[in-house]
Amino acid sequence: MLKVGIVGVGQFGQNHARILNESTKCDFVGLYDINKKRAEEISSGLNTKSFDDFDSLLVEIDVLLIVVTTISHFELAEKALKNGIHVFIEKPITETLQQAEDLIELADKKNLKIQVGHIERFNPVILEIEDKVKNPIFMECHRIAPFTPRGTDIPVVLELMIHDIDLILSFMESKVKHISASGAGVMTKSIDIANARIEFEDGAVANITASRISLKRSRQLRIFQKDGYFSIDFQDKSVKHIKKSKNLYKVLPKLMMGKYENIDTKDVVDIVEVIASDSKKDALTTEIESFIHAIEANINPVVDGRAGTRALEVALEIVNKINK
């Protein structure tokens, strides 16, 4: 059984530590955090070991979860990889593309795995529809949240929007052709609200909005393709598949003649509620266990270093467009 440790047990990292502690898929060795008081508090609650320094943790583990601020991702991941340890890195993978590429090169050289924490790939509703999405022609994403100080060290593009960037790129086989974007800092000196339009070589378009200064929390995605579209609400884990009705051919002549009276919506479209088979399963648990399985089976992680780098590349381009 793989021995796993974690560095960083802040507000988000404590959830990773809890899941590792409860998992039967690995041996949770312990944790390290630069805030020793915080580390001792979390380790005590989980009845696990708190290491005095990062190097001591590395000696004991096969796999490292890195859940710290982005500025430290590269340094910690590089050291772990050099010590022969597989790494899970919370998104974004690194600060710069060069750092990401260096980590991938090092992992390949050492025959080690990298997974990047794009958790929405493991959301039950995405897992339910991912094989049903075929050649999207238009995608629309809204990810908004109330303001909190956490995460404001990076633009909202890298904090929130990058989730949807990764999802969109995972659905698209075509390459990005052009990006346009706008945004502004409202509560901070960084970008707090942003909108981006991504155009692909095959003509598909994605429109993405992210905000961390809203009064409410909302996470929605719509994926349009030739046979209909999916309307996804990440918060309540619901999916509606809207597609052409089987009765459409019966009313089509009237529609083409502009005679809309006495035509029911149900004659034009079918609205199907898609039920996620594992809707109650925690996405973070699925994400972490998926990485452990990838290592044990020696297969590519679902969101490997290259996928994380592609998402970072697009996100940085959006930030650059806004800052011009």
Sequence-distant (6+) residues with CB within 8 A of 273 are 238, 239, 240
Domain parsing of the chain, residue ranges: 3-118+283-303, 122-279+313-323
**pLDDT for 257 beyond 70:** no
Comparison of pLDDT for 149 and 163, the residue scoring more: 163
**CATH dotted code for 122-279+313-323:** 3.30.360.10
Instruction: Label the pairing between strands 63-66 and 86-90.
Output: parallel
> pLDDT band at 9, cuts 50/70/90?
very high
In whole angstroms, give the CA distance from residue 315 to residue 317: 5
Over the stretch 229-249, which tens digit does the pLDDT of each residue have?
999 999 888 899 988 766 655
Residue/partner pairs of 232-238 with CB below 8 Å, 24 or more apart: 232/125, 232/126, 232/129, 233/125, 234/120, 234/123, 234/125, 237/123, 237/124, 237/125, 237/276, 237/279, 238/125, 238/273
Closest CA to 68 of 136, 153, 180, 145: 153
Residue 165 contacts residue 314 (beta carbons within 8 Å): yes
Q: Is the pLDDT of residue 261 over 70?
A: no
Distance CA 162, CA 253 (A): 44
Per-residue pLDDT of 107-162, as tens digits, reads 999 999 999 999 999 999 999 899 999 999 999 999 999 998 776 778 999 999 99
Q: Say what the pTM is.
A: 0.91
CB atoms within 10 A of CB 241: 18
Mean of pLDDT over the chain? 92
pLDDT cut 90: percent of the chain above it: 81
* CB atoms inside a 10 Å sphere around CB 178: 11
CATH number of 3-118+283-303: 3.40.50.720
Peptide bond into 253 cis (omega under 30): no
